[in-house]
Copies of this chain bind each other. A is one copy, B any other.
């Protein structure tokens, strides 16, 4: 977690204070359930709630852990200090540390997912707004970095919208994956604790009981969670790369918003660099790098080993904090992206009319010219445009073999931009719904 790529709400989820607060809630709810079952006295369970407004002293817990070398015992000792009565001895009864730790981790992941879903909504909203705004802004479509056929800027935003909507959907599923808790004891048999405790705690913490756990919640759930973050990050990279291309000097169809006070480079004051999207490209790699270790974490030995723990201490906060920041940064970039429709037109016309060659090719075949011949006819005129800077339409009109089958008006009709945009509304309706 790098401070400059972090936002406070997501960071807060992973603070020691937040963690101990969740531990406490799990323990207190478990006491309630145990009291309900008659395992511990109801008044003692009630007394545990005396700490409801306490702030847990992280330094004090660390101090105890330095002696006991066990974090949950350290916490329980401190909790006993706060409660200050015999009631403390009933806390954690029948439970194993992992009951608390694993359930807590999932609570944190669920809360992180909630923030990410909100981030996604903001991003979707920005993408939709820009899509509508530029629905009809003509722009050349490119394959292989080479001009192909016209499209619109709105379609570009719309496809990012569709991709991110899929990602929102995946994030919801990922949230569902990890929204389970387990209070099932040392090897998951509920030997020392009734399943009713798990049911109660999970309900209170917004989780489902894990159908079958060992000492831990199975890690395939987390692998799926982090894999999903990796896919979202890859989509962020996808949008970032598009914008970086648009901003490069020779293209210049858009620029990241450049505030007045901002200095681009200490050496070249005229430069406006797409540093936010370049940064997003890097952040995507950072989020993605948690995927493989999360998958390596799945194969724990027997009922658990603790190899996954250090990995999760790192990737839990890092991947969610970085993704939250990246989504938010991307939303800002999209929202304020400065778009240059005139440059888009100028770029498209760089090779005078050549982008319409496909239409001419089709027209020739529809006139009965064989595919091979049509290809040759188009190619020889196209090459004059490419190599000599001629105008494609004029060359066609001057080509006797072409005019033998197409009238000048028919040729001109093939250069109509409206031809390419006629289904934009259809596509928008598919993406955004018809309104």
Contact = CB atoms under 8 A, between A and B. Distances in A.
A431 B212 contact: yes
A367 to B, nearest CB: 11
A235 interface: yes
A307 B293 contact: no
B70 A263 contact: yes
A189 B154 CA distance: 12
Interface residues of A, number: 158
Given A159-B214, A191-B422, A310-B2, A148 B357 contact: no
Nearest to A253: B250
Nearest to A211: B430
B271 A144 contact: yes
A186 B267 contact: yes
Contacts of A11: none
B231 A220 contact: yes
Contacts of A8: none
Nearest to A214: B159
A192 B274 CA distance: 24
Nearest to A282: B310
Number of copies: 4
A1 to B, nearest CB: 8
A306 interface: yes
19 contacts: A69-B262, A97-B265, A142-B187, A142-B248, A143-B265, A145-B305, A146-B271, A151-B187, A158-B212, A162-B211, A191-B422, A220-B234, A269-B382, A270-B386, A279-B306, A281-B299, A288-B293, A291-B291, A291-B295
Contact of A68 (B143, B261, B309, B385): B261
Interface in A166-183: 166-167, 170, 173, 177
Contact of A220 (B167, B177, B187, B421): B167
B93 A186 contact: no
Interface stretch (A111-119, A346-354, A405-413): A346-354
A189 B288 CA distance: 32
Interface string A342-363: 0000010011001001110110
Nearest to A230: B295
Nearest to A276: B306
A322 B417 CA distance: 43
Nearest to A355: B268
Contact of A146 (B245, B247, B267): B247
Contact of A143 (B148, B186, B233, B357): B186
A416 to B, nearest CB: 10
Interface string A115-159: 000000000000000000000000011111111111100010011
A239 to B, nearest CB: 8
A19 interface: no
Contacts of A315: 289
